[in-house]
Amino acid sequence: MLPGTNEWLGQVVEDIVDPGTPIVDPHHHLWPDGGRTAYGLDDLVADTGSGHHIVATVFVECRAAARPDGPDHLRPVGETEFVAASADRLTAEHPGAPPIAGIVANADLTLPDDALAEVLDAHAAAAGGRFVGIRDALCRALEPEALTIAGRYAEDKYLDPAFRAGVAELGRRGLTYDSWHYHHQNPEMLALARAVPGTTMVLDHFGTPLGVGMYADRRDEIFREWAVGVTELASCPNVVAKLGGLAMPDNGFGWHERDRPPTSDEFVAAQARYFHHTIEAFGPERCMFESNFPVDRFSLSYPVLWNGLKKIAARYTADERAAMFEGTARRIYGL
C-alpha cells in the first residue's frame, strides 16, 4: 500500500474527538485533474466531511493552474480562476459542505508598482470576494537534493527593496502575506516583519523545522534553534502562526515510510512540543490550527490529524481553543 492512499490511511480509524467543535481549516491546496498531486474537489469534500465540524476553508497557492499563456506576471491568476470556479461548484454540488471562503494567491512581489497592482486587481476580480492574501515564499533549500519539496526561491529575497515594497503594498490593501520557509530562515522572516510592520504576516507550518538530509538525527538540536526563532518572530505583533504542516516528509518523522500511518496519540507524542512552544510564544489569539492537506496526507488522515490537534488543544481554555480552531483564521483572513 502506498502512503497517502485511502487504503493505507484507512488502516487507522478513530472515533472523532469533540465532533461539535467548529473549525476553519486555513491552509489546504487543490490540483486540477492531471496536476502534479491528485487532490481535487471530491477529495477535499471527502476529507472535510469525514467527521469533524469544518465550517470553512482557505485555499493557499500551490502553483496548481497557471494560465498557459499571456503576460508572465498574470499567469498566477489562472490558479485563482481555477479555485474560484471550484468553490462555486462546491457550493452548487455539495450544499452542505464547508465553503472555500478564502484564497491566498501567488504573485511576484518584486514586480514594479503598476504590474503588481495589475495582478493583485486581477486576483481580486477572479476570486469572487475570496481573495485574502498572497504567498510569495521565502523558502530556499540548502540541500535541495535531500528534500521531497525543495524550495528554490531567490537567495536573500527578504532583503530585496522591491520585494519589501510589494509586501508593504499588501498591507495597504488589507491583504496578508503568507511565508513558507525552512527553520534556518526564521531570521529572514523576522527581518522582513520588522521592516514591514504594517502588513500582517502568516508563518506557515511553524517555519518547517527540517529532519532529513543534513538535519537527520538532530531533532533536539534543531528544535532548540527553531524555538529561539519562533520566540523572536512572536515579538513582532504583525506576525501570526499556523499550527500544523509538520507531517510533511521533509520534517523527518518518517511516517510516510511505515506500513501503517500513526494514530493521533503517536502524532501528539511526536509533535506536541512544537505546538505548545508556539502557542506560548504567540498566544492563542495569534495562532490557528491548519491541515496542510493533501501534503500532510502522505503521513496521516484528515480525521486523525484533527483528533491529534484537539488532543493538543485540550489543556487550553474554551475561549483559547475557539480562537485557534476558528476565530484567529476568521479575523486574520477576514472571512
Mean pLDDT rounded to a whole number for the chain: 96
pLDDT tops 90 at residue 168: yes
**Rounded percentage of the chain residues whose pLDDT exceeds 90:** 96
pLDDT tops 90 at residue 110: yes
- Domain extents for the chain? 22-333
Residue 65 Cα distances to 29, 71, 102, 112, 317, angstroms:
11, 15, 17, 24, 41
In this prediction, residue 54 carries a pLDDT of: 98
Output the pTM of the full model.
Answer: 0.96
* Position 35 confidence tier, pLDDT thresholds 50, 70, 90: low
* Position 37 confidence tier, pLDDT thresholds 50, 70, 90: confident
Please list, residue by residue across 205-232, b when 16 or more beta carbons sit within 10 angstroms of its beta carbon and e when fewer do: bbbbbbbbbebeeebeebbeebbebbeb
Residues 249-292 have pLDDT tens digits of 999 999 999 999 999 999 999 999 999 999 999 999 999 999 99
Residues 2-12 have pLDDT tens digits of 888 999 999 99
In this prediction, residue 1 carries a pLDDT of: 84
DSSP for 17-60 reads SSTT-EEEEEEE----TTSSS---HHHHHHHHTSSSEEEEEEEE
In this prediction, residue 78 carries a pLDDT of: 98
The DSSP output letter for 259 is: S
In this prediction, residue 286 carries a pLDDT of: 98
Residues 194-234 have pLDDT tens digits of 999 999 999 999 999 999 999 999 999 999 999 999 999 99
* Position 38 confidence tier, pLDDT thresholds 50, 70, 90: confident
| Calpha distance 224→214 (Å, rounded) | 16
Residues 39-55 have pLDDT tens digits of 999 999 999 999 999 99
The CATH architecture of the domain made up of 22-333 is: Alpha-Beta Barrel (3.20)
| Calpha distance 49→133 (Å, rounded) | 26
In this prediction, residue 161 carries a pLDDT of: 98
Q: Is the omega angle on the peptide bond into residue 294 within 30 degrees of 0, that is, cis?
A: yes
In this prediction, residue 36 carries a pLDDT of: 67
| Calpha distance 193→235 (Å, rounded) | 10
**Which residue in 20, 84, 27 sits closest to 60, CA to CA?**
27
Amino acid (1-letter code) at residue 155: E
In 3-state terms, what secondary structure has residue 280?
A: helix
